[in-house]
Amino acid sequence: MTHYDAIVLGVGGMGSAALYHLARRGLRVLGLERYNIPHEMGSSHGLTRIIRLAYYEHPSYVPLLRRAYELWRHLEHTVQERLLYITGSIDASAEDGEVFTGSKASCEIHHLPHEILDHAQIQARFPGYRLPPGIVAVYQPDGGFLLAERCVVAHVMAALDLGAEVHGQEPVLGWEPRGNGVAVQTESQRYSADRLVICAGAWGAKLIPELAGLAVPERQVLAWFQPLRPALFQLSRFPVFNMAVEEGRYYGFPVYGIPGFKIGRYHHLEQRVDPDDMDRQAHRQDEDVLRRYTARYFPDAAGPTMSLKTCLFTNTPDEHFILDLHPSFPQVSIAAGFSGHGFKFCSVIGEIMADLAQHGESRHDLGLFRLKRFQASFTGASA
């Protein structure tokens, strides 16, 4: 068996970042990926991912986001490639809705620059938006988007430059503790390591059975519609958005990479799936859910369909992440359950996973993300 200081299972958004940060610390590290690098079978594709500082989900995410921005900029410098685009961000809902109130609270607690805009002010400043009366928004100027696949490639390339070893097209069959380390069996070889870092996305519960019911895959669909007035949806005129309305909660982007306005609905059709046996085709029903919303709130974007893609969320019961040591084997670190809002954090989660692998703890506050919060359904979780 070839031996490593650490093995990372899954080389998508989180795994590629963990690989890089471990290699950056001088560890001999191996990354194993069941598909291509990058690939379109998981949660790290579709060209772009939103990054935003105004965070309604919980104000404790904001310090992690500040560090994430620093690390994305550092990665850009390392690989000499632009990965992060700033457009500003809109977080909108009814005035008493959790998206608006939570985003506003996170800005106030962490002293983030922001503005409160009503529906008319939003449309006047950003004419692509046509929001109804009663919708209010937090505009935060530091929001924007990341180039998802390029971020994965950048982390992998930077890790390779530091001596990491990376294997695509090598599915992992299983792992087991081996003394104070681990052994990992793939379809072609057996490896050993002092530490194991599992960043397997929708396949997490297949590698860690204790995550069953705590990291649940869900089918997601994205659409790109050709704008009828393209000038309104360019980078300089259209902030990314996160919006809760009567139809659900949606997110969207200016035109980039594909000649279309990108739109998605959180928890698209609420379809729990097996990632090895899911419907990866997009259908008329999928398109209609996204087109009806676009036609109502962004009518100048509701032109012909340019592209439809499926991807995966992996949801926890409370939609907060799982970042922890394995409850029985402290030489194993787990990153799972990013619930459709994790990619923006990849850079800092890579740092956290390197911390956990090396030291069993992190300087970042992980209180919100520990397994112990699920003790009712998962006994023996780590403290």
pLDDT tens digits along 132-142: 999 999 999 99
Does the annotation count 311 as an active-site position? yes
Instruction: Please tell me which residue in 34, 344, 346, 373 is annotated as part of the active site.
Output: 344
**Confidence class for position 1, pLDDT limits 50, 70, 90:** confident
Residue 217 backbone dihedrals phi, psi, to 5 degrees: -70, 145
Name the one residue in this structure whose structure tokens are 């860690």.
208
Does the annotation count 67 as an active-site position? no
Over the stretch 173-204, which tens digit does the pLDDT of each residue have?
999 999 999 999 999 999 999 999 999 999 99
* Structure token pair of residue 169: 């097209």
Does the annotation count 48 as an active-site position? yes
Amino acid at the residue 15: G
Instruction: Please tell me which residue in 34, 45, 52, 373 is annotated as part of the active site.
Output: 45
Instruction: Please tell me which residue in 48, 87, 310, 314 is annotated as part of the active site.
Output: 48
- Residues 250-265 have a mean pLDDT of 97
Q: What is the pLDDT of residue 381?
A: 40
Domain of 247, CATH number, reads: 3.30.9.10
Q: Are residues 39 and 173 in the same domain?
A: yes
Q: Quote the number of domains for the chain.
A: 2
Instruction: Please tell me which residue in 107, 151, 199, 311 is annotated as part of the active site.
Output: 311
Consecutive H or E run containing 29: strand 29-32
Over the stretch 280-312, which tens digit does the pLDDT of each residue have?
999 999 999 999 999 999 999 999 999 999 999
Name the one residue in this structure whose structure tokens are 């990665």.
75
Does the annotation count 262 as an active-site position? yes
Over the stretch 10-37, which tens digit does the pLDDT of each residue have?
999 999 999 999 999 999 999 999 999 9
Consecutive H or E run containing 120: helix 119-125
* Structure token pair of residue 270: 């609420």
Q: Are residues 304 and 231 in the same domain?
A: yes
Q: Are residues 111 and 173 in the same domain?
A: no
Domain termination site, one of 282, 315, 348 = 315
**CB under 8 Å to 250, separation ≥6 — which residues?**
241, 242, 243, 263, 264, 265, 266, 293, 297
Q: Are residues 324 and 309 in the same domain?
A: no
In the DSSP assignment, the letter for residue 243 is E
Range of the domain at 12: 2-44+149-208+320-374
Instruction: Please tell me which residue in 21, 24, 34, 49 is annotated as part of the active site.
Output: 49
Q: Are residues 106 and 187 in the same domain?
A: no
Residue 228 backbone dihedrals phi, psi, to 5 degrees: -75, -25
Does the annotation count 199 as an active-site position? no
**Confidence class for position 377, pLDDT limits 50, 70, 90:** low
Over the stretch 96-106, which tens digit does the pLDDT of each residue have?
999 999 999 99
In the DSSP assignment, the letter for residue 131 is P
